[in-house]
Amino acid sequence: MGAQLKVVVVGAGLSGLVAATELADAGVDVTVLDKGRSVGGRLATRRLADARLDHGAQFFTVRSPAFRRRVDDWVDRGLVAVWNHGFDADDGHPRYVGTAGMNSLAKDLAASAERAGATIMTSTLAFGLRPSPGDSPQHRWEVVIDDGSTLPTDAVIFTCPLAQTFALLADVGVWKSGDEATDAAHDAIVARLGIDLDQTLFRTQYDRTIALLATVDGPTAIPEPGGVQDGDDVFSFIGDNQAKGISSSPAVTFHANAEWSEAHWDDDADTTLAALEAAARPWLGDAQIIERQLKTWRFATPRTVWPDPCWTTADGTVVVAGDAFAGPRVEGAHNSGLAAAHSLLA
Ligand SMILES: Cc1cc2nc3c(=O)[nH]c(=O)nc-3n(C[C@H](O)[C@H](O)[C@H](O)COP(=O)(O)OP(=O)(O)OC[C@H]3O[C@@H](n4cnc5c(N)ncnc54)[C@H](O)[C@@H]3O)c2cc1C
- Give the DSSP letter string of 266-316: TS-HHHHHHHHHHHHHHHHTT--EEEEEEEEEEEEEESS--SSS-EE-TTS
- 341 pLDDT band, cuts 50/70/90, is very high
Q: What is the pLDDT of residue 101?
A: 98
Q: What is the pLDDT of residue 63?
A: 96
Mean pLDDT of the chain: 95
Looking at residue 297, which CATH number applies to its domain?
3.90.660.10
Q: Give the range among 47-56, 184-193, 220-229, 301-310 with minimum mean pLDDT.
A: 184-193
* 136 plus 22 within the same structural domain: yes
Q: Does residue 3 carry a pLDDT above 80?
A: no
* 159 plus 177 within the same structural domain: yes
* 210 plus 331 within the same structural domain: no
* 111 plus 259 within the same structural domain: no
Q: Is residue 65 part of a domain?
A: no
User: How does pLDDT run across 151-181, given as a tens digit for each residue?
Assistant: 999 999 999 999 999 999 987 677 888 888 8
Distances in whole angstroms, Cα of residue 274 to Cα of each of 112, 140, 182, 234, 267 = 42, 52, 36, 13, 11
Looking at residue 14, which CATH number applies to its domain?
3.50.50.60
Give residue 295's domain range.
206-302
* 196 plus 322 within the same structural domain: yes
Count up the domains in the chain and report the number.
2
Q: Does residue 2 carry a pLDDT above 50?
A: no
Q: Which one of 63, 160, 311 would you pick to mutate in the ligand 1 pocket, going by the greatest count of ligand atoms within 8 A of its CB?
A: 160
Instruction: Identify the three-state secondary structure at position 94.
Output: coil
* 211 plus 137 within the same structural domain: no
Q: Is residue 86 part of a domain?
A: no
> Percentage of the chain surpassing pLDDT 70?
99
Q: Which of 285, 302, 319 is the last residue of a domain?
A: 302
Q: Is residue 87 part of a domain?
A: no
* 193 plus 336 within the same structural domain: yes
**What is the 41 CA–ligand 1 centroid distance (Å)?**
5
* 33 plus 166 within the same structural domain: yes
Ligand 1 pocket (Cβ < 6 Å) reads 10-16, 33-36, 41-43, 56-60, 125-126, 159-161, 164, 168, 209, 211, 255, 297, 300-301, 322-323, 328-330, 333
